[in-house]
A = this chain, B = another copy of it.
Amino acid sequence: MHRKIRMGMIGGGQGAFIGAVHRMAAALDGQIELVCGAFSSDPARSRASGQALFLPPERVYGSYEEMIDAESRLPEGERMDFVSIVTPNHVHFGPAKAALEYGFHVVCDKPLCINVQEALELEALTQQTSLLFALTHNYTGYPMVKQARAMIRAKELGAIRKVIAEYPQGWLSTFLEGSNQKQAAWRTDPLRSGPTGAMGDIGTHAENLLEYITGLEISDIFADLTTFVPGRKLDDDGSVLLRFRGGAKGILFASQIAAGEENNLRIRVYGEKGSLEWSQMEPNSLVVRWLDKPTQVLRTGVGSLAPEAQAHARIPAGHPEGYLEAFANIYRNFALAVRARMAGNMPDPLYDFPTVSDGVRGMRFIERVVEASKKQQWVAF
């Protein structure tokens, strides 16, 4: 079993955007090779994409159904080990279900699917099949996010009181979907994106990051969703108040009309003894403030970090890492888990990744936010 783990990709053909990110992330650590793909529902486009990726023509398929079926018939020494699903949201459920049913592990882009029911079905199927399912909430792959989580689990900040998570972007400040911009078009279309726009696309990243770092569980949600751009069919901005089990409180803010913002995912966690702040715009620093000690700026290059953080920093200490390295950490950890599974071993918990259950929580978050915003009252999570 000494070989690279084999990936088949669903979606991500020429002109797509997140597919290339997944491929780079998968390639970075030399643990995974792309062996096949159904890159587009248009067979010609799928073929052209496969060729550009140096794949043999016979491993480039016209549909995911065809790929999953054909690959399952290949000898074990050849066929793909897992699928990577990088299609728009409404085409997550089908391929994921099929892959699981045919015995393939799954990596799936977020959010998991279109509604809680689909999500629960995928979670159940994953449990039944004992297959591995990674959801690419990639931001949790950053070393400093791991560090933040480790510090909070070690109670260094004391009990957590208040959390503020936010993800402002500005790219949908205008009616971009009206000019046929592909990324804008499907993300603002309820049929392809699901019941929310900004809240599902990036709000779930904030929710996932918040829960991952703090370990807090949301108990109640209040929300105010807004569609600012005339003609848009889904929310492009949302403010959410949160209450957590145990008494902590939170604010979550996601916006795609925050003009001029790039991907300013940012979290602040206030505990009894200190607080921490992390921002994706400067991901290699973790600012830790204390009640009665000087503020610290943790970095990979100086001082010692928690093992969880060190295990996810791969380059010479003190050089900046970015989005792709964090994304690659999800793939690397998934590959390690697949390899452990193949060898009959338990996976090392140090190399964790978001799973289908994070996806269920994300879908529930989306539904509760929509409900709270409609009712204008607190809704139990």
Which positions 1-51 of chain A face chain B at CB distance < 8 Å? 2-4, 17-18, 20-21, 23-24, 27-30, 34, 51
A344 an interface residue at 8 Å Cβ cutoff? no
Contact of A322 among B34, B243, B321 (CB under 8 A): B321
Residue among A162, A263, A295, A298 with the highest chain B CB neighbour number at 10 A: A295
B320 touches A260 (CB 8 A): no
- Taking CB atoms and an 8 Å cut-off, the chain A residues in 236-280 that contact chain B are 237, 239, 241, 243, 247, 249, 251, 253, 255, 257-263, 268, 270-275, 280
User: Which of A3, A226, A301 is the most central at the interface, judged by chain B CB atoms within 10 Å of its CB?
Assistant: A301
Instruction: Indicate whether A291 reaches chain B with its CB closer than 8 angstroms.
Output: yes
| A325-377, CB < 8 A from B | 325, 376-377
Q: Are A302 and B296 CB-contacts (below 8 A) given A275-B170, A320-B281? A: no
- Complex Cα distance A247/B230, Å? 12
Q: Is there an interface contact between A263 and B318, defined as CB atoms closer than 8 Å?
A: yes
Tell me whether A186 is interfacial, beta carbon within 8 Å: no
Per-residue contact bits, chain A 159-172, to B (CB 8 Å; 1 contact, 0 not): 00110100011110
Q: How large is the interface on A (under 10, 10 to 19, 20 to 34, 35 or more residues)?
A: 35 or more
The DSSP consensus for interface residues of chain A is: loop
- The answer to whether A257 touches B270 (Cβ under 8 A) is yes
How many angstroms from the CA of A349 to the CA of B320 in the assembled complex? 27
Once the chains are docked, how many angstroms separate the CA of A294 from the CA of B262?
A: 12
Interchain CA distance A171-B318 in the complex, whole Å: 10
Number of copies: 4
Complex CA gap A157/B299 in Å reads 20
Given known contacts A161-B228, A275-B261, A294 and B289 CB-to-CB distance under 8 angstroms: no
Instruction: From A63-71, A91-99, A189-197, A309-317, give the one contacting chain B.
Output: A309-317
Q: How far is the CA of A57 from the CA of B170 in the complex (A)?
A: 52
Report chain B residues within 8 Å CB of A259.
157, 270-275, 289-291
Name A224's contact: one of B53, B249, B258, B261 (CB within 8 Å).
B249
Tell me, in angstroms, the Cα distance from A208 to B317 when the chains sit together.
Answer: 22
B297 touches A297 (CB 8 A): yes
Q: A24 touches which one: B249, B270, B314 (CB < 8 A)?
A: B314
Contact of A303 among B29, B284, B290, B314 (CB under 8 A): B290
Q: Is the CB–CB distance between A30 and B53 below 8 Å?
A: yes
Interface residues of A, Cβ cutoff 8 Å to B: 2-4, 17-18, 20-21, 23-24, 27-30, 34, 51, 53-54, 157, 161-162, 164, 168-171, 173-174, 222, 224, 226, 228, 237, 239, 241, 243, 247, 249, 251, 253, 255, 257-263, 268, 270-275, 280-284, 288-299, 301-304, 314-325, 376-378
Give me 7 other A-B pairs in contact (C-beta within 8 A), A260-B288, A315-B323 excluded: A3-B54, A30-B53, A164-B253, A263-B316, A280-B319, A294-B299, A295-B297
